[in-house]
Amino acid sequence: MFLPLTKKNKIMELEAGTVWLVRASWIAAILPVVIASIPNSKLTYFHELVLGLARRGKILQPTSSQKWTLPQRYFAHFYVLGVAWTTLLLATIWMYAFKTTSLTSDESRLSDVVTGGSHVEHRLEVWRAVFLLVLMEIQVLRRLIESFYVFKYSPSARMNILGYLAGWFFYTAAPLSLCVNIAPEVAVFIAKGKSQYTSDTEFDLLSSLIPLMKLGWCQLIGAAIFLWGWLHQRRCHAILGSLRETPSQVKEYIIPHGDWFEIVSSPHYLAEIVLYAGLLIASGGTDVTIWLLFGFVVENLTLAAGETHRWYLRKFENYPANRNAIFLYVY
């Protein structure tokens, strides 16, 4: 049964509104750093303000008042949110994809919710969203585990409260950005009741994995790049965690060595950029929302890496001169 045109239009309007709201949020988050990067003496104060908000841990300037800061160990809150939110989106959209779409059938069962365009392309879009959320789930789960078992934050390590709120924003907006184009119709699917769109087929995990294996080369290449960045970030985080294996080392800072630390000062940030580049490629590279997500990741981590690199140079006279901040031979 087809939805009346007015209902289809409402779904289209909801989808457009949701997409533009998420995009506007990313643009609002990106603009301050872009403005602060403009070489103009009149923007010096704004530049310092943005840097102050971005600093955390060892590069946070010590002040007499810590009124607007929080312990850096609160980073774990981001990953709890990320796991909970990504899991909810993944479970809901995966069930929706399994119950309402098929990459092997010539007949579409999406007529109740699809508002136009190619049904085949729509089915691919739904399963691509599932695929991207699976990768995101792998990332946030590892970060959550690391926050408890790998990182040993100094008791004095702090972060700005606005930086803390930015973390909450990121781990809310990032998973949503990977599936925002289909989120409204999934919401309709839930609101109207699953039974209206489903057959008697029970959810089967093995069967639900088959469509993920039928996606294109973009997804395979993107996943390979994602896993490359993921593995290097895991190694770099393990190196950082090993620098504070004993209680006496908690307040000490040591030059890290190994893996990508031999070429850049913040390889864990570089690895994160690589894995989000993998997500971008796996998405097909046509979604503006995911490009904005990637842009935010690049500029935010580049800013933090630059501050970290300058801190290392000030802190250690024997700091390796061959290391760049984050991009080999570039910055």
Count of positions (residues) in the chain = 331
Helix (H) or strand (E) holding 301: helix 288-315
Extract the tokens encoding 294. 């990637």
pLDDT (tens place) for every residue of the chain, 331 residues total: 344 556 556 666 777 788 899 999 999 999 988 888 888 777 777 777 777 777 776 666 555 456 778 888 888 899 999 999 999 999 999 888 877 765 544 443 433 444 444 566 777 888 899 999 999 999 999 999 999 888 877 777 788 888 889 899 999 999 999 999 888 888 777 776 655 554 455 555 666 666 776 678 889 999 999 999 999 999 999 999 888 765 555 557 788 999 999 999 999 999 999 999 999 999 999 999 999 999 999 999 998 899 899 999 988 989 998 999 999 888 8
In this prediction, residue 225 carries a pLDDT of: 97
Question: Do 326 and 270 touch, CB atoms closer than 8 A?
Answer: yes
pLDDT of 295: 96
Angle between helices 5-36 and 44-54 (to 10 degrees): 110
258: left (phi over 0), alpha (psi -120 to 50) or beta: left
Q: Give CB contacts under 8 A, 24+ apart, made by 139-142.
A: 139/230, 139/275, 140/79, 140/82, 140/83, 140/86, 140/171, 140/175, 141/83, 142/230, 142/234
What is the pLDDT at residue 109? 41
**Residue showing tokens 């104060």:** 45
CA-closest candidate to residue 21, choices 136, 176, 186, 171: 176
Taking alpha carbons only, the member of 318, 289, 331, 313 closest to residue 58 is 313
The predicted structure's pLDDT at residue 116: 44
What pTM does this model have?
0.85
**Residues in contact with 205: Cβ distance below 8 Å, sequence separation at least 6, in sequence order:** none
pLDDT score, position 66? 64
Helix or strand (DSSP H, E) at 190: helix 183-191
Q: How far apart are CA 72 and CA 174, in angstroms?
A: 21
Q: Which long-range contacts (CB under 8 A, 24 or more apart) does 184-187 make?
A: 184/11, 184/14, 184/15, 184/18, 185/11, 185/15, 185/113, 185/114, 185/115, 186/92, 186/93, 186/96, 187/14
Helices (H), 102-118: none
**What tokens appear for 175 in the block?**
């998973």
